[in-house]
C-alpha cells in the first residue's frame, strides 16, 4: 500500500507575491501537485518544480469553476497516490478560505495535512493603504466580516445571519470581505443600526498589488463613490475612524515634502 502524501493547505498572501511566508514557499517548492485558487498570484507558481502538476480551481472565462466537492475529491485522490500536495489559497486559508472544510475532510480520511498561514487581505491591504486596524485612542478592536450573507448576497441561508446591529457598536474597525456586490445593503444595515453617516469608510481594491486603488469616503456617501470609481473585485470595505489615519498620513507627507522641497 502507498503511504498517503502530505497535503499542505497554504496561504498565498494578499496579492503581492513577496508577501508569502518562507514556509509556504518551501511547501510550493516541494509540491508534486498544486491546486490553486483565482486570488493566488500566479507568480508564486514559479517557485514550483517544473514537473509539478498545476491545477487551477477558479473560474476561467467560459468555464465552470471546480466545485468544493471536486476540489476535495482531488486533494484526497492525489494524496492517496502518495503525492505531495499543496492547496494554495489567497490570503489566509482559514479566513473565508474554506481551509477548515478541507482540513476536516482530510482528517476524516486519515490523510496527513498541515496548515500554513498567510497574510489575510485585511491585514495586507490595510498596511498597503496606511490604515492601522487598531490605533491608540481611535480603534481598540477590529473584526473581519463577510458581506456575502447580506440580503441579496450569494451565501444565502448557510449559517446564522450577520449581526450588523451588534457589529455597528461593539467593534471599532469593520473589515468586510466579499462585500462589493452588497455595499448598498451593508451601508443600509449599519445606518439602520445607528452607525453615524459621518463614519469614515475606505474601499481597497486589489490591495498590495500593482493595481491597488484605495478610496476614502463616509458611510453616508460610500455607495456613490463605489459606483463613481467602478469599484470591482477583489475589494475590501473598511468601516471606522481608523480609515482617517490614511488621510492624516497623506496630509503630513504632503506638508513635509512641501517643507523639504
Ligand atoms: N482567504 C482570503 C479571503 C478570500 S474571500 C484572505 O484571507 O484574504 C475573497 C475576498 O477577499 C474578496 O471578495 C475580497 O473582499 C477579499 N480580498 C482578497 N484579496 C484581496 C485584495 N488583494 N484586495 C482587496 N480585497 C481582497
Delineate the domains of the chain, giving CATH numbers in brackets: 7-119 (3.40.1010.10), 122-248 (3.30.950.10)
pLDDT of 249 higher than 60: yes
Find where cell 478592536 sits: 141
Confidence bin at 103 (pLDDT 50/70/90): very high
User: Is 92 touching ligand 1 by the criterion CB < 6 Å?
Assistant: yes
User: Cα of 91 to ligand 1 centre, how many Å?
Assistant: 7
User: Cα of 80 to ligand 1 centre, how many Å?
Assistant: 31
Average pLDDT over residues 3-24: 98
- Residue 18 to residue 86: CA distance in whole angstroms: 18
- Residue 62 to residue 184: CA distance in whole angstroms: 29
Q: Quick one: CA torsion of 130, 132, 137, 142, rounded to 10 degrees?
A: 140
pLDDT in tens, 67-88: 999 999 999 999 999 999 999 9
Residue 84, pLDDT score: 98
User: What three-state secondary structure class fits 112?
Assistant: coil
Average pLDDT over residues 156-169: 84
CB-based contact 214:243 (threshold 8 Å): no
User: What three-state secondary structure class fits 104?
Assistant: helix
User: Is 37 touching ligand 1 by the criterion CB < 6 Å?
Assistant: no
Residue 155, pLDDT score: 52
Predicted model pTM: 0.95
For residue 88, what is its C-alpha cell?
Answer: 494554495
CB-based contact 215:125 (threshold 8 Å): no
Residue 241, pLDDT score: 98
Active-site positions? 37, 59, 178
User: Is 17 touching ligand 1 by the criterion CB < 6 Å?
Assistant: no
Residue 61, pLDDT score: 63
Residue 65, pLDDT score: 79
Find where cell 450569494 sits: 154
Q: Provide φ and ψ at 144, rounded to 5°.
A: -100, 125
- Residue 10 to residue 116: CA distance in whole angstroms: 5
User: Cα of 16 to ligand 1 centre, how many Å?
Assistant: 12
pLDDT of 158 higher than 80: no
User: Is 212 touching ligand 1 by the criterion CB < 6 Å?
Assistant: no
- Residue 7 to residue 25: CA distance in whole angstroms: 14
- Residue 239 to residue 221: CA distance in whole angstroms: 12
- Residue 111 to residue 4: CA distance in whole angstroms: 6
Atom of ligand 1 nearest to the CA of 94: 1
User: Cα of 203 to ligand 1 centre, how many Å?
Assistant: 12
CB-based contact 142:134 (threshold 8 Å): yes
For residue 217, what is its C-alpha cell?
Answer: 469616503
Average pLDDT over residues 152-174: 81
- Residue 128 to residue 183: CA distance in whole angstroms: 22
User: Is 178 touching ligand 1 by the criterion CB < 6 Å?
Assistant: yes
- Residue 200 to residue 214: CA distance in whole angstroms: 13
Confidence bin at 37 (pLDDT 50/70/90): very high
Residue 64, pLDDT score: 75
Point out the least confidently predicted range of 156-170, 215-229, 245-259.
156-170
Amino acid at each position: 500500500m502507498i503511504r498517503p502524501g502530505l497535503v499542505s493547505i497554504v496561504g498565498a498572501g494578499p496579492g503581492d507575491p513577496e508577501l508569502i511566508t518562507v514556509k509556504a514557499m518551501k511547501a510550493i517548492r516541494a509540491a508534486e501537485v498544486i491546486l490553486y485558487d483565482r486570488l493566488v498570484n500566479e507568480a508564486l507558481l514559479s517557485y514550483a518544480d517544473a514537473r509539478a502538476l498545476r491545477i487551477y480551481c477558479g473560474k476561467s472565462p467560459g468555464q465552470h469553476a471546480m466545485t468544493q466537492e471536486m476540489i476535495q475529491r482531488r486533494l484526497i485522490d492525489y494524496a492517496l497516490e502518495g503525492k505531495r500536495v499543496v492547496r494554495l489559497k489567497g490570503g489566509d486559508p482559514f479566513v473565508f478560505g474554506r481551509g477548515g472544510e478541507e482540513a476536516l475532510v482530510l482528517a476524516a480520511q486519515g490523510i496527513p495535512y498541515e496548515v500554513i498561514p498567510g497574510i489575510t487581505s485585511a491585514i495586507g491591504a490595510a498596511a498597503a493603504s496606511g490604515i492601522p486596524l487598531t490605533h491608540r485612542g481611535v480603534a481598540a478592536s477590529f473584526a473581519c466580516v463577510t458581506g456575502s450573507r447580506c440580503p441579496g448576497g450569494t451565501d444565502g441561508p448557510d449559517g446564522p445571519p450577520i449581526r450588523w446591529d451588534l457589529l455597528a457598536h461593539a467593534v471599532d474597525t469593520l473589515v468586510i470581505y466579499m462585500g462589493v456586490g452588497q455595499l448598498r445593503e451593508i451601508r443600509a444595515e449599519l445606518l439602520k443600526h445607528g452607525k453615524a453617516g459621518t463614519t469614515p469608510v475606505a474601499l481597497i481594491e486589489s490591495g498590495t498589488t500593482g493595481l491597488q486603488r484605495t478610496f476614502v469616503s463616509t458611510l453616508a456617501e460610500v455607495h456613490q463613490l463605489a459606483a463613481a470609481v467602478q469599484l470591482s473585485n477583489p475589494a475590501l470595505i473598511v468601516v471606522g475612524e481608523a480609515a482617517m489615519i490614511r488621510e492624516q498620513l497623506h496630509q503630513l507627507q504632503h506638508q513635509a515634502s512641501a517643507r523639504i522641497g
